[in-house]
Amino acid sequence: MRMPRGLFGVAGAGRTWTRAFTVAVAASVVAGVVAPPLAAAHDPAASVGPAPSSGTVTTVGTVVLITGDRVAVARDRDGSYLATLLPGDDGTRANVTVVRHDADVYVIPTEAQSYIAAGSLDRELFNVTGLLGVPSGQDAVPLIVEYDEGPGVGTLASRRPPAHSKRTAALESIDALAVTVSTAEAARFWSGIKRTLPTGTQRSTGGISKVWLDPVLKPDLAESVRQIGAPTAWTAGFDGTGARVAVLDTGYDPTHPDLAGQVVRSADFSGTGITDGHGHGTHVASTVAGTGAASGGRYVGVAPGADLLVGKVMTNEGSGMGSWLIDGMEWAVANGATVVNMSLSTEVTDGTDPMSQAVNELSASSDTLFVATSGNTGPDELTARAPGNADAALSVAAVDRSDSPASFSSRGPRAGDYAVKPDIAGPGVGIVAARAEGTTLGTPVGERYVTASGTSMAAPHVAGAAAIVKQRHPEWDGEQIKATLMGSSASVAGASVYDVGAGRVDVARAVAQPVTASPGSVSFGRYAWSEEDRDDVTRTIVYRNSGDRALTLGLTIEAATTTGAPAPAGMFTTDASTVTVPAGGSAEVRLTLDPDLGDTGLYGGQVRATAEDGTTVHTSLGVFKEPRMVELVVEGIAQDGSAAAGGSSVDLWNLDTGRWTSGIFGGKGGAGPAVFSVPVGTYSLTSFLWTMDDAGAFGREIAMVSKPEITLTEDTRIVLDGRTGQRLDPVTPQPSEARQITIGYHRASGRHSFAVHYLLDRYVDAAYATETEPVTRGEFELSSHWELYAPEFTMKLAGVPATLEAEYSIGSPRIDGRRTYDLVDAGRATPQDVAGRDLSGKLAVIERSDAVSVAEQVRTVGDAGAAAAIVYHDRPGFLLAAVPTTSPIPSFTIEQAPGRDLLTRLSAGPAKLQIAGTPDSPYVYDLFPYHTGHVPAAIDRTVEHLSLARTAASYHASGAPQRGAEVLFPRRPYDSFVLRRAQEIAVPSARTEWASPGDVVWRPMTWHTVSQDGGLIGSPRSYTAGQKRTEDWFRPVVRPGVPAVGDEDDARWGIPGYRSGDQFTIQIRSLLDSGEHYSERAGDSESRLYRDGELVAERGGLEGTWPASAEHARYRLELDVRQSEPWWQHSTSSHTAWGFTSSRPAGGQQLLDLLQIDYDVPTDLNGDVAAGEPTEVGLRVYPQARRDQPADVSLRVWASHDAGGTWREVDKVKAAGDGSFVATVAHPKGAETVSLRVVATGGDGASIDQTVIRAFGVAGS
């Protein structure tokens, strides 16, 4: 029996759902949830953004989960992710699910599932791509720990943070602590806190209600003052004087004339100083209250009379933490802020996140109005973001100069309850405001100003308007100011309330007209489809009149769906057609929704109240009438006939909308059906059903049962029966066993797509899939990836033909060859059990015990002289255990029944156990069968060598032998994320590798160490049946160069180098072996560019753009590379200089004459040549990445046998044609290494001078 020690599901859908900051979020989580992960290990490249600026694979970073698991993430040239799950310190890996949705990747250990289901862990804690975006320098994950007992300021300030975490702030407004957890303390923190968090069956024992990821803040970047009527308000005497506006942003430039004397107080919450090194905060602050001094009054802020409070909550890189923002909000309120401007956002939320909670709490306890952006992730619905999603916040969308909604502006409604958001709009396109000195934000307008766009620019227009209204009505609180700005806003033609809220802010009307309406919007929420009559729902709108005469207002309602269908008469009504509001008084109007009227859809509109003199005030309204829902009950039956449980999952995906719902059987675990309530429609239904071990703890087999196209029109019950599945595991020509398996499916319809893949470790016995009907809509594919090796061992009792099923203990040394052991009963391997027993050279049979670990049991019998050990379970079920990698003897685990059988044999007399071990497989099968359109009734599992591609692979050492790692990523055309586990490989070694042909693109990576250091990357490739090829990894000579051009995208990034205008674009890999494998990391390297002998630029590594002069000139490009890692003993350093001439081309791109040298050295797998005879070194010179264009060059070669201390020119250099040469290098007695210098010079002025120290070794000298 085997268990899914590393279970992955990768899910992805075509619809874009936004998450925190700049990446998308999954709609829900595939079966299982993650433990809180820790931040990316410190790595300058550990950031998430656009596809890498390289035509090849680029490392992104490594995320450490709180469970101790690590995920190394890289991005391929097309932006897709290639990720490997790294082993833990003890060699174990967690049971996890991986969810992939657009740009987001969630890694989800199943042990945290109940906490996610109970809502005590924030799902964003598990977003790998989000964690990679933690501000640089972070080596710990930032958390917000929320308490449910309302401890109050004093208690909270003295509260101890959870064990193994460090408190960074007390957030009194939400009864929470901001803490960080270091990577070193991750497992300890998780072990402690999981016992205190509430679940479906466990109540909180530590007062903690939820643990949130402290999210990264990002600024929302995309004649505006006149557009909103500010000059009119100024003329009336209102410029914000007396109001205080807090700008929580990236700080400000204290030297900018527009802000001189405007900032009355400041505070830094980022630890980077108040001065703005980004530019965003200065731009925003001057939009609120800049004086325009540097422009002669041209670029004046909205409320130049207001005082500014500046809180720096984002760093000079433009990012910050949510806890910094909450700290800043509390500081602003404590310092008398009238308005708080937050031109930033985090994730899409339902308004219950910590920052939104803080806005609501602080608004309720003060008169402060919080203005925040809606976000820049439009134009799709449901993209409005926190903290603007707070009920009390004034969420601001952006419009352009013609009052049209900006395409980037995030839209409502609010996720969850479908409340009306955003609330209002402001100018946010092409906004000119102050430029912080030395920053590069936006497009400069002269020396002191810059143009920028975004909802970040729209919010300060509204904040400035709020300051002016506060001056006009100093007695008003934040809610009244919010309602006034919304009610007096200008209508935006063709836009719904979910695009721009009530309308574009009009501060002139806000201060001039006497009548207001409160609240600014009425949200009726969401209503489930029903055939039953439902009661009307009524809300109250209060009209207030600050004027000196009564006003009679005529009431009208305009409402429609977001698709333009008008609401039917009677759906929204008021209890009167007019209302008279007395002077200095108020009047109420009741707005009623009849939920039985109107088709399904998202409705939005306004109640308009208009007086005879033209005074108008409006109130936004909205409601979501859900489509007709049906209940789908899904029963699962596992392969052994038991009810689905133990992490078995089911996914339901709507072909029309792309919406995805995921569930597990039994609701929160255990047996029982999965129940869905979904709209009528056509769906794809797929389940992964686990057959559990005898203890119900570990999965032995998995079955994918799918109905890829079902139409639901009524309540339905479906049984997914894994017993009808057929086996998928291939039958190979040579004996093999799986080291890892991927099984999954892809489904697409129209512009939507969805995929779920499970990555299974070596402890799964079998995988199955059931037959399906062909789909009539879109695409469907079942695929599986089998990584098969020669069995690591076979085990049987002497004289008994049947083999014994067992597993190596994790960390155990491997057996190489055949061994026969005498068996001895060692009891439970306590000191008392082994005392007096002769274990010397024998295999100890041990019963597992709760009282002592397997590792200790193995150590005890090893100390007593045992040569090997088998530990059998003391109860039914699968057993897997770990021992230290320093364990001196091989050890195995087996289940209870076969363990007792061994003891029975021993009781009858001496018994011997025969073990044949193959620690390093001489062959490997990477098989990727797939079935499109449907799963056939019969799957042929038999594999023939003639149907595969064959690679004779060699893995060369660069020094002492190592245990390395390799991984082969397969990708089908629809894949944008591939996750694999790297497998150990001996370095040096050679083996035969078989792979599936067809429309599968394979991308290999190999590392010199198990910990995945010293790695090289191979080119993507597809295979044909019967193809035969060779591949050499790390083969000398490793030197700088570029791999062959794969496609036009490679050339775009300077592979090969080119010139456009007065700029070179060049990318040269620091390490390139003779097999065209390269390293994407620069290592310890420096590069320099000289023009006519004068240094013009220098940097680390050699990639990117370089300056060129218009005139004809001679250039010299130099690259020095050093490798100091202990496993890297060949090519320890290199110096390469390229010479070429260039002048400005007439147009387009012009390839540069950068030469490259290929080396062919007859080394063995250790990277050594024989000492007793000269070595013929093959050399070939050609323009970079153009191997079919041999260069016409003269060539000289020097060799050194003392690591470059002394050099001797090689006098036997023979031209072989086609740019090829053979240099015969003789080796003096005692030589251990050979260093080479090669100089090739062409008649066209192109040259290369390349020196490689310790290029290869000399054996046997």
What is the tens place of the pLDDT at every residue in 540-566?
999 999 999 999 999 999 999 999 999
Predicted pLDDT of residue 28: 24
Containing structural domain, residue 298: 217-513
Q: Per-residue confidence at 368, pLDDT binned at 50, 70, 90? A: very high
146 occurs within a structural domain: no
Q: Which helix (H) or strand (E) is 297 found in, with range?
A: none
Please state whether the peptide bond connecting residue 36 to the residue before it is cis, i.e. omega within 30 degrees of 0. no
Q: Known catalytic residue: 249?
A: yes
Distance CA 656, CA 1024 (A): 37
Predicted pLDDT of residue 751: 82
The structure's pTM equals 0.78
Q: Per-residue confidence at 20, pLDDT binned at 50, 70, 90? A: very low
Does residue 194 register a pLDDT over 90?
no
Distance CA 9, CA 32 (A): 9
Buried/exposed 547-566: b ≥16 CB within 10 Å, e otherwise: eeeebebebebebebbeeee
Average pLDDT over residues 429-452: 91
Taking alpha carbons only, the member of 946, 1082, 1083, 924 closest to residue 1004 is: 924
| Beta-bridge mates of residue 399 | 405, 427
Pick from 198-207, 644-653, 1038-1047: least confident: 198-207
Q: Per-residue confidence at 104, pLDDT binned at 50, 70, 90? A: low
581 occurs within a structural domain: yes
Q: Which residue type sits at 476?
A: W
Q: Known catalytic residue: 391?
A: no
Output DSSP code: residue 810.
B
Q: Which residue type sits at 340?
A: V
Are residues 557 and 503 part of one domain? no
Tokens of 137: 């320098």
Does residue 45 register a pLDDT over 60?
no
Q: Which long-range contacts (CB under 8 A, 24 or more apart) does 1086-1090 make?
A: 1086/1119, 1086/1120, 1087/1117, 1087/1118, 1087/1119, 1087/1120, 1088/1117, 1088/1118, 1089/1064, 1089/1115, 1089/1116, 1089/1117, 1089/1118, 1090/1115, 1090/1116, 1090/1117, 1090/1118
Distance CA 702, CA 406 (A): 49
Are residues 320 and 194 part of one domain? no
Are residues 540 and 465 part of one domain? no
Q: CA end-to-end span of the chain, whole Å?
A: 52
Are residues 347 and 267 part of one domain? yes
Are residues 298 and 256 part of one domain? yes
Predicted pLDDT of residue 857: 97
Tokens of 646: 């133990």
Distance CA 240, CA 469 (A): 7
Predicted pLDDT of residue 2: 33
Distance CA 1045, CA 1244 (A): 23
Question: Is 1065 exposed, middle or buried, given 0-12, 13-18 or 19+ CB atoms closer than 10 A?
Answer: buried
Q: Per-residue confidence at 1225, pLDDT binned at 50, 70, 90? A: very high
* φ/ψ bin of 207: left (φ > 0), alpha (ψ from -120 to 50), beta (otherwise): left
pLDDT digits (tens, 9 = 90+) for 225-252: 888 888 999 999 999 999 999 999 999 9
974 occurs within a structural domain: no
Q: Which residue type sits at 333?
A: V
Taking alpha carbons only, the member of 44, 27, 35 closest to residue 104 is: 27
647 occurs within a structural domain: no
Average pLDDT over residues 980-1004: 95
Distance CA 411, CA 496 (A): 10
Please state the domain count of the chain.
5
Does residue 1244 register a pLDDT over 60?
yes
Q: Known catalytic residue: 1008?
A: no
Final residue belonging to a domain, choices 874, 894, 917:
917
Final residue belonging to a domain, choices 917, 941, 959:
917
pLDDT digits (tens, 9 = 90+) for 698-722: 888 999 999 999 999 999 999 999 9
Catalytic residue among 280, 746, 873, 1008: 280
Q: Per-residue confidence at 152, pLDDT binned at 50, 70, 90? A: very low
Are residues 528 and 441 part of one domain? no
Q: What angle do CA 576, 581, 587 make, to 5 degrees?
A: 65
CATH for 1248: 2.60.40.10
**Measuring CA to CA, how many Å separate 91 from each of 62, 787, 853, 854, 1082?**
17, 19, 16, 15, 29
Tokens of 58: 């680029």
Are residues 554 and 492 part of one domain? no
**For residues 627 and 679, is the Cβ–Cβ distance under 8 A?**
yes
Q: Which residue type sits at 453?
A: S
Torsion sign across C-alpha atoms 131, 135, 138, 141: negative
How many beta carbons lie within 10 A of that of residue 267, not counting itself? Answer: 18
Average pLDDT over residues 657-670: 71
Choose between 49 and 396: higher pLDDT. Answer: 396
Predicted pLDDT of residue 23: 19
Predicted pLDDT of residue 87: 66
pLDDT digits (tens, 9 = 90+) for 122-136: 877 777 777 777 664
Q: Per-residue confidence at 427, pLDDT binned at 50, 70, 90? A: very high
Catalytic residue among 239, 249, 327, 761: 249
Tokens of 53: 């600026």
Tokens of 223: 């004649």
Catalytic residue among 270, 363, 456, 736: 456
Are residues 506 and 377 part of one domain? yes
In three-state secondary structure terms, 703 is strand
1156 occurs within a structural domain: yes
Does residue 91 register a pLDDT over 80?
no
Distance CA 947, CA 940 (A): 13
977 occurs within a structural domain: no
Distance CA 271, CA 138 (A): 13
Taking alpha carbons only, the member of 1057, 1074, 1088, 1071 closest to residue 1125 is: 1071
Are residues 509 and 445 part of one domain? yes
Predicted pLDDT of residue 43: 28
Average pLDDT over residues 486-513: 95
pLDDT digits (tens, 9 = 90+) for 320-357: 999 999 999 999 999 999 999 999 999 899 999 999 99
Tokens of 680: 């009528």
Final residue belonging to a domain, choices 610, 625, 640:
625
**For residues 772 and 935, is the Cβ–Cβ distance under 8 A?**
yes
Does residue 883 register a pLDDT over 50?
yes
Q: What angle do CA 447, 451, 453 make, to 5 degrees?
A: 160
* φ/ψ bin of 1090: left (φ > 0), alpha (ψ from -120 to 50), beta (otherwise): beta
Q: Which long-range contacts (CB under 8 A, 24 or more apart) does 899-905 make?
A: 899/845, 899/847, 899/870, 899/872, 899/873, 900/872, 902/797, 902/823, 902/845, 902/870, 902/872, 903/825, 903/845, 905/797, 905/823
**Measuring CA to CA, how many Å separate 648 from each of 196, 208, 696?**
26, 29, 12
Does residue 36 register a pLDDT over 50?
no
Distance CA 1033, CA 1014 (A): 12
CATH for 820: 3.50.30.30
Does residue 965 register a pLDDT over 70?
yes
1101 occurs within a structural domain: yes
Are residues 548 and 426 part of one domain? no
Highest mean pLDDT among 58-67, 98-107, 537-546: 537-546
Distance CA 1139, CA 1150 (A): 16
Q: Per-residue confidence at 102, pLDDT binned at 50, 70, 90? A: low
Predicted pLDDT of residue 1216: 86
pLDDT digits (tens, 9 = 90+) for 1103-1143: 888 899 999 999 999 999 998 888 889 999 999 999 999 99
In three-state secondary structure terms, 438 is coil
Pick from 112-126, 498-512, 585-599, 1127-1141: least confident: 112-126
Taking alpha carbons only, the member of 1238, 1234, 1237 closest to residue 1254 is: 1234
736 occurs within a structural domain: no
**For residues 701 and 688, is the Cβ–Cβ distance under 8 A?**
no
Distance CA 128, CA 63 (A): 7
Q: What angle do CA 596, 602, 605 make, to 5 degrees?
A: 90
Average pLDDT over residues 728-740: 96
Pick from 92-106, 521-535, 628-642: least confident: 92-106
Predicted pLDDT of residue 1048: 47
In three-state secondary structure terms, 1163 is coil
Q: Which helix (H) or strand (E) is 189 found in, with range?
A: helix 186-193
Share of the chain above pLDDT 70, in %: 89
Place of tokens 């597992």: 848
Choose between 913 and 143: higher pLDDT. Answer: 913
Are residues 1057 and 1166 part of one domain? yes
CATH for 338: 3.40.50.200
Are residues 543 and 478 part of one domain? no
Taking alpha carbons only, the member of 724, 760, 729 closest to residue 641 is: 724
Taking alpha carbons only, the member of 619, 595, 604, 617 closest to residue 538 is: 595
Does residue 303 register a pLDDT over 70?
yes
Distance CA 1198, CA 580 (A): 100
Output DSSP code: residue 172.
G
